[in-house]
Structure formats: C-alpha cells, structure tokens
C-alpha cells in the first residue's frame, strides 16, 4: 500500500471509528434524551457502518461478501433516519404511523438480505439494488430538504441571525447530502472520484459536528428547533404576568 493510500485509509477508518463513538454518545450518554438525539445516533451508526465497509472494501477487494451486503443494506436506512432526525427536531415527537414507516424499511432491509444474499445474487445487487438504494436515499434527502426548506432559506440568506439549533440541523442535512453526492459520483464512475470520497466527506462532516459540541458549554439548545421559541414565549408570558401583578 502506497503512502497516499495509507493516508486515505487512516482518515477513512478514523472517521468510521469516531462515528461509532459519537453515535453511542447520542444514543446513550446525552443528559436529556431528546428524540432527535436518538435518531441522530442511529443515523451516525448506519453511516459509520457504511463508511467502515467502504474503507475496507476499497483497500481489500477480497472482503467477505457478507460485509459487502451489510454495507449496502444499511444504505436503505440512511435516508429515513435523516428525515426522522429532522422531523423529531421540529416536533420532538413521531407518530405511530411514522414509526411504522421506519419499521417497514428495517423489515424490508432484512427480508431482501435474507431472500437475496449478496453472495449468491451479486449481479442483482450491483445492477439493481444499489441503484434503488441511491434513488431511495436521494428521495429522502429531497423530502427532508422540503421539510426544512424555510430553515435552509434562512441559513443561505441570513446566516448571522440563525439560531444554534437551526445551524445544527442545517449542518446535519447538508452533511448527509454531501456524503450522498460523493458516493453517487463514485457510483456513476465520474473521473477522479471513487467511493472512498464519501468516506472522507463523512469524516469531514463528523469533525464539524464534534467541533460544534466541544465549542459549546451547553448543548440543550441545539437539539430542538422550537426550544428557543418556547423560551421566548415563556419570557413574554412572564413579562405580561408581572405587568398584571403590578397593576
């Protein structure tokens, strides 16, 4: 392995490892258990799994087919988990109907993997399933972007006046979109772009997230988009009440 490849392997593997650590943090160790944290933890775990498999496949073509199947299969969960991360950040609740929607994708992933194992149906996976995974991933990015379209518009037009939570969720959305673009360009074989580009893009976004967390003394105001609005309403209500008491 050349020095250049060793460097790529190091940064790709480091991103996957830190992604797993950060996913455990959001799943189990945040002080307040916001629903958006749980979905973000699951999102980072699936992405880290995809990245880890990508890195090892890139540098070892003889990797067992089961690992390839796992790396591809989790791709079906990235888009839905992104959507639910953003949706729960807005509402801090997810309806039973939407939860069943996510459960359907998990069940679909398991069924496809059991009925059509990559080891026996590699052509089917490479020619059809992979294309479907990218289409599904893009569809959920589009839906997620539409869901937070006003937030994205505010970030683009007036970034200085955005709230910490708005920048946080905007970074998550744009980061996942960047990882998708990197992987897709490698999939369609754009010159000088390979699947390892997606791993490096993920590493870059991951360290942006870590820097945000380390920079802030408190993080509660990051995980809900409406928490600042609620605080403002409470302050206004307290002011009105104090005025009435004075009278």
Q: For the chain, how are helix, strand and coil distributed in percent, rounded to 5? A: 80, 0, 20
How does the average pLDDT of the chain come out, rounded?
A: 80
Instruction: Give the span between the Cα atoms of 55 and 203, in whole angstroms.
Output: 12
Q: Note the pLDDT tens digit of each residue in 2-20.
A: 666 677 777 778 888 888 9
**Binning pLDDT at 50, 70 and 90, where does residue 1 land?**
low
Cβ neighbours for 219, distance < 8 A, ≥ 6 positions apart:
30, 213
**pLDDT greater than 80 at residue 203:** no
Buried b (16+ CB within 10 A) or exposed e, 132-154: ebbebbeebbeebbebbeebbeb
- Model pLDDT, residue 220: 64
Is residue 97 exposed (0-12), middle (13-18) or buried (19+ Cβ within 10 Å)? exposed
**pLDDT greater than 60 at residue 205:** yes
- Model pLDDT, residue 229: 46
Considering only residues 81 and 190, tell me which one the structure prediction assigns the higher pLDDT.
81
- Lowest mean per-residue pLDDT among 29-33, 159-163, 178-182, 194-198: 194-198
**pLDDT greater than 60 at residue 243:** no
Give mean pLDDT, residues 117-127.
90
- Model pLDDT, residue 7: 76
- Contact between 83 and 52 (Cβ < 8 Å): no
Tokens of 146: 């539409």
Q: Comparing C-alpha atoms, which of 34, 28, 27, 31 is closest to residue 169?
A: 34
Highest mean pLDDT (candidates 135-139, 199-203, 223-227): 135-139
Q: Note the pLDDT tens digit of each residue in 141-171.
A: 999 999 888 888 888 888 888 888 888 888 8
Cβ–Cβ contacts within 10 Å for residue 63, how many?
14
Three-state secondary structure of 66-88: HHHHHHHHCHHHHHHHHHHHHHH
Q: Comparing C-alpha atoms, which of 55, 61, 187 is closest to residue 129?
A: 187
**Binning pLDDT at 50, 70 and 90, where does residue 63 land?**
confident
Cβ–Cβ contacts within 10 Å for residue 232, how many?
10
* DSSP symbol at 158: -
To the question of pTM greater than 0.85 for the whole model, the response is: no
**pLDDT greater than 70 at residue 42:** yes
The CA-CA-CA angle for residues 129, 136, 54, to 5°, reads 60
Q: Comparing C-alpha atoms, which of 119, 6, 123, 122 is closest to residue 55?
A: 6
Quote the distance between the C-alpha of residue 180 and its chain's center. 10
- Contact between 128 and 116 (Cβ < 8 Å): no
- Model pLDDT, residue 226: 63
């Amino acid at each position: 392995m050349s020095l250049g490849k060793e460097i790529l392997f190091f940064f790709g593997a480091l991103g996957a490892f830190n992604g797993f650590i950060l996913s455990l943090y959001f799943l189990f160790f945040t002080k307040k258990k916001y629903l958006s944290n749980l979905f973000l933890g699951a999102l980072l775990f699936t992405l880290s799994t995809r990245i880890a498999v990508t890195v090892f496949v890139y540098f070892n073509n003889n990797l067992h087919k089961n690992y390839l199947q796992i790396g591809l299969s989790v791709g079906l969960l990235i888009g839905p988990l992104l959507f639910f991360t953003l949706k729960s950040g807005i509402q801090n609740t997810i309806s039973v109907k939407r939860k069943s929607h996510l459960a359907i994708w998990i069940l679909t992933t398991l069924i496809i993997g059991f009925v059509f194992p990559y080891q026996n149906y590699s052509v089917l996976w490479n020619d059809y399933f992979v294309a479907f995974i990218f289409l599904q991933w893009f569809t959920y990015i589009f839906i997620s972007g539409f869901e937070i379209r006003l937030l994205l518009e505010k970030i683009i037009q007036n970034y200085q006046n955005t709230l910490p939570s708005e920048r946080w969720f905007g970074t998550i959305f744009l980061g996942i979109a960047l990882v998708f673009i990197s992987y897709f360009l490698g999939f369609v074989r754009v010159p000088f772009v390979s699947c390892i580009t997606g791993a490096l893009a993920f590493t870059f976004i991951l360290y942006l997230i870590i820097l945000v967390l380390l920079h802030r003394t408190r993080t509660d105001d990051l995980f809900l988009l409406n928490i600042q609005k609620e605080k403002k309403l409470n302050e206004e209500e307290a002011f009105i009440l104090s005025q009435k008491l004075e009278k």
